[in-house]
Amino acid sequence: MPSHPWARNFSVEKGDLDYLTNLLLEKETPLSTEALARELVDKRLTREAADIKERFKDTQLYNPSRAYEVGQKLLFQAFDYAPGTVVNVRPGNNHEYGTFNVIGVKFDDNDKVREFASELSTPHKLTQESTNGDNPLTATPEYTTDEIISNWRGDIVPVLEKVLAASSDLVSIGGTWFPRELMLEVNAGHLNLAEAVLDIAGGGPLTTDEILEQIGGLGKAPYELQKFTLNYALRDDSRFDEVGPTGQVLWYLTRLEPQEVMQVPPNLRYTPFDYDRSLLAPDLVTLETEIDDELSPAFGVPEVGDSVTITLNYPHRRVGTLPLTARIRQIVPTALKTQRVWMNLVDGQDGEETTGWVVRNEGYIFGLSAFYRKHRLPVGAYVTVKRSDDPTRIVVDFNAHRPRTEYVRLIVPKNDQILFENHKRSIGAEYDDLMILGVDELQAVDALFQSTQQQRKSISSILKSIMPGLSRLTPQGTIHAKTLYSVFNVFRRCPPGPIFATLVANPDFQNVGGHYWKLVED
């Protein structure tokens, strides 16, 4: 049977939208984009079968063992089911095949008459292959609906979804569609009850089923339509926030969501710097990739396995967040349209669970403060995010060892100045010794951070303020680029790219090899 080129180059035909709308009206049940796509594919396969049946009406599949008459229509399997008409019949003349006839056939697309054997009594390959009878419509179709959707989902579903979204007669929620005219009424009383239910639940999250059960439903309409209508009404009310991962609908009261989820915390806010990326030599780009800052450009990010390890920087340690890097996005629960995604954070050390939030567009995961404090993780610690079987849960872990005393560079603010000292600290986790950083006087450091924001200091000025103190911590008086990035982010949020470009471009900074830098003295 012929293939289906329309599947590879799918487009919505005139009348398709009306067909799907009527289907939804008949079923009185919302359907997903893929379910509607299946209906269209079924419709086209049925239409193709009907067209073929009409086109080849009174037509037989050529079989050398059968007898044929002038005027009879045949299909030739050997020629991709090309149709032809018998125009003459004569006796055959070949002693090896015994008594048989020869039919002259004129094909529909060619005036030339070709001859074929008929009433052949000896075995023939075509006789053995013609197991589907005389009607080609009894042959198995090349592709079923399931196979077409499986093979060309990416060509069909997005195209249909775009057309559905452009229709003013349909509404969508959670990836399903329904005619606007048949939507149920959701009044202020229903919404107030839903708010009360979520309030009692501490804000949420609750599924639509749980809310419907508590408010007593929306009448006697089909249950799926009740869910769809309530979801649509909640989505359009600012009191409610849809916080479920892809494939799940979960509701939360907006006013009870953490402030750090509703607004980006100051330590994480980044005002982009203009810089020339061509200044970054390949080794600096490699270093930038190694740091894996969520604000850095993501080029050719490979697929990850079940876990991703990052190095904890100061802004995320201070706020209690994790960076939503391109690699971590492959691990954590996300959603196509939901801005904030609720989830459970599981402590990989003891299994304790806490509430977490994926703030997709702003690029961070909130809810780690207790985890960091409990395990006394320093800036520079290696933190691992692990996938779980539940899309609403991720495991956060680190490589723990028996605590041992080690020297750590410590920020020591004095008289609004930035000073650094090496102090002994007990550490029980693996860390990057180039990025590790200690802070005892958080209020003083926060004050320096706020002062830096207010003064809008440049990258160069911030580097010049921190490099003298850092250089005194080493005999060589040099500072690694990763250390500069780590300390810089205490005072202003910035990915490594602009910092590295400034080091290269400004003659006040000198590279002494191996990513180590020093401040050039006057």
Cis status, amide bond into 205, omega within 30 of 0: yes
Taking the C-alpha atoms of residue 494 and residue 509, their distance in angstroms, rounded to an integer, is 18
Band of pLDDT at residue 303, cut at 50, 70 and 90: confident
Q: Which CATH number fits domain 63-129: 2.30.30.30, 2.40.160.20, 3.40.50.620, 2.40.110.20?
A: 2.30.30.30
Q: What is the pTM of this model?
A: 0.74
Tell me: pLDDT of 368 over 50. Answer: yes
Q: Which amino acid is at 218?
A: L
At residue 503 the predicted structure's pLDDT band, cuts being 50, 70 and 90, is very high
Percent residues over pLDDT 70 in the chain = 94
Residue that is written with structure tokens 């402590």 in the block: 347
Q: What is the pLDDT of residue 337?
A: 66
Predicted pLDDT of residue 156: 83
In the beta sheet, which residues pair with residue 379?
437
Q: Per residue in 6-54, pLDDT tens?
A: 767 788 888 888 888 888 888 888 888 889 888 888 888 888 777 777 7
Cα 307 to Cα 221: distance, rounded to the nearest angstrom: 45
Q: What is the CATH number of domain 304-400?
A: 2.40.330.10
DSSP 320-360: TEEE--TTGGGTS---SS-SEEEEEEEETTT--EEEEEEET
CA distance 263 to 394: 23
Find out whether 140 and 77 touch, Cβ atoms under 8 Å: no
Topology of domain 183-257, CATH: Arc Repressor Mutant, subunit A (1.10.10)
- Rounded to an integer, the average pLDDT of 474-487 is 92
Q: What pLDDT score was predicted for residue 142?
A: 64
Q: Tell me the sheet residues that pair with 31.
A: 177
Residue of 419, 436, 435 whose CA lies nearest to 427? 436
**For residue 490, pLDDT beyond 60:** yes
* CA–CA distance, 473 with 519 (Å, rounded to integer): 14
Which residue is listed with tokens 């006087």? 441
Give 137's DSSP letter: G
With CA atoms as reference, report the closest residue to 2 among 110, 104, 143, 113: 143
Distance CA 222, CA 225 (A): 5
Phi, then psi, of 289 in degrees rounded to 5: -65, -40
* Domain boundaries along the sequence of the chain: 5-55+142-167, 63-129, 183-257, 304-400, 402-519
Question: Who has greater pLDDT, 491 or 140?
Answer: 491
Contacts with 206 (C-beta within 8 Å, 6 or more apart), sequence order? 197, 198, 250, 251
First and final C-alpha spacing in the chain: 83
Q: Does residue 132 carry a pLDDT above 80?
A: no
| Cα separations in angstroms, 35 against 14, 40, 161, 278 | 19, 9, 11, 48
pLDDT at 134: 47
CA 413 – CA 441 distance, rounded (Å):
8
Q: Is the peptide bond before 5 cis (omega within 30 degrees of 0)?
A: no
Q: Is residue 28 left, alpha or beta, with left meaning phi > 0 and alpha meaning psi from -120 to 50? A: left
Whole-angstrom Cα distance, residue 221 to residue 218? 7
pLDDT at residue 3 tops 60:
no
Q: How far apart are CA 473 and CA 479, in angstroms?
A: 9
Do 183-257 and 63-129 fall under one CATH topology? no
CA distance 365 to 388: 16
Cβ atoms of 108 and 55 closer than 8 Å: no
* C-alpha closest to that of 374 among 392, 351, 340: 351
Whose tokens are 């003659």? That residue is 507
Phi-psi group of 385: left, alpha or beta (phi > 0 → left; psi -120 to 50 → alpha; rest → beta): beta
Average pLDDT of the chain to the nearest whole number:
86
Of 403, 389, 391, 406, the closest CA to residue 250 belongs to 391
Query: Per-residue pLDDT tens for 94-119?
Result: 877 888 999 999 988 778 899 999 98
- Count other Cβ atoms within 10 Å, centred on residue 473: 15
